[in-house]
Amino acid sequence: MCGILGMVSSQPVNQELYDGLQMLQHRGQDAAGIATIEERKFHIYKANGMVRDVFRTRNMRDLSGCAGVAHVRYPTAGNSSDPEEAQPFYVNSPFGIAFAHNGNLTNTEELASDLFHKDFRHINTCSDSEVLLNVFAHELERAVLSTENKSVTEKVIFQAVRAVHKRVRGAYAAVALIAGFGLLAFRDPFGIRPLILGRRNNQNGYDYMISSESVSFSATGFEYMQDIAPGEAVFIDFSGRLSMCQCYDNSQLYPCLFEYVYFARPDSVIDGVSVYQARLDMGVTLAEKVRNELPHDIDVIMPIPDTSRPSALELARHLNLPYREGLIKNRYVGRTFIMPGQETRKKSVRQKLSPIACEFRDKNVLLVDDSIVRGTTSREIVEMVRHTGAKKVYLASAAPEVRFPNVYGIDMPTHRELIANGRDRFQIANEIGADGVVFQDLAQLENVVRKLNPNIQGFDTSCFNGKYLTGDIDEEYLKKLSDKKKKC
């Protein structure tokens, strides 16, 4: 799960891209990068680390220009420690393209082979984002050469995107800065990864920003315009003229359900759904599960901060139980789920959360979390809460059991990493040392989000039920993906 930005403005964009990336930092802490363009010259700076650590004044000064793209990286494929895999990526043919991508392709190996043997393009990293960039670059070149006067128009660019959709499978939301022409954004035909268009008045019309989440707009003075539809492409030339085109005939809106559970910020609105309201409503349905499946001896309800707070609040209200903040978060430690490496995640839990002893002592506590994935964090927290003095420790998850790998942009590539794989809720409780565990029903979770936007046709729920939208995932594929991740 990464965060991407694109911007065309009447003024320099470097500071606003930086500010927008800060608002998307929760989506990736591994690397950050910005590419701007001035006349026909690209300025690119990227490196491993958080946004505030990557960019210095001298870097920002060099990022001149009134259009740009930006990226924060959360590694799902490739080598997380290799700075060459930080984005934006760049190719110089045709025209020069700077490119940022959020998601994960499922036919990367096939595409990379075709690029080398048929399209005569070289891929220099393990990143599927570089593959996607080169597929687009090749299709744009083909589209231009097919025109009578070998020129670029919006129609030609949209023709290239249509060709990309035919070749590529998986989840992808992308922004591309095309030298001499403008900013392109496009989204996969299922709309698995989010992509949102905003605008702001200027003296001659509008400035435009494209972002993974609407929170970037509030930090930069933009207003929400619309979600880019599945299969749709948006092109903004450097004069600020906007064009839109549906580039896939049978697109359907199936956003990733995990965005609403965990990844997105609560103050975001994605595909017409308030993330905060969705999480409140998750607490209502979860309250019924707690009432039916756990003993009625709970004294207090506490969230595992921060993502689960809205759900925990509503759960406590519906059960008429006290809500307390017993775990205090150190805000200078990153999100443990998206940290690379099991040992790193385990070590960071104690640094990240500190218990208030008096809130736990001699009480039966229900902890509420957004989800339980690997179980490492949950086990450490339960142990810490017991040590602090709790009599009983229950755990409620606002998401269903995560039983299957996700291949569309979430870093859970193997079955063995998932604590719910092959275990029921009683066995999971035993594994993490809890007195009981409750999980949200998948159907209830889907209903909660769809109720806030009935136009959503379905969801990517593959990590919960093993149903993959692209129809190309089997055990052999998952094994290859795991092996590749170990090599890169």
Active site residues: 2
Coil/strand/helix, residue 184: strand
How far apart, in whole angstroms, are the C-alpha atoms of residue 134 and residue 281? 42
Q: How many CB atoms lie within 10 A of CB 403?
A: 16
How far apart, in whole angstroms, are the C-alpha atoms of residue 209 and residue 217? 8
Q: 179 near 96, Cβ under 8 Å? A: yes
The closest of 467, 460, 402, 102 to 256, measured between CA atoms, is 460
Q: 409 near 103, Cβ under 8 Å? A: yes
The residue ranges of DSSP E strands in 298-352, in sequence order, are 300-303, 327-329
The closest of 103, 80, 46 to 340, measured between CA atoms, is 80
8-31 burial code (b ≥16 CB/10 A, e <16): bbeebbbebbbebbbbbbbbbbbb
DSSP track, 439-472: E--HHHHHHHHHHH-TT----B-HHHH---TTS-
Alpha-carbon torsion (91, 96, 100, 101), positive or negative: negative
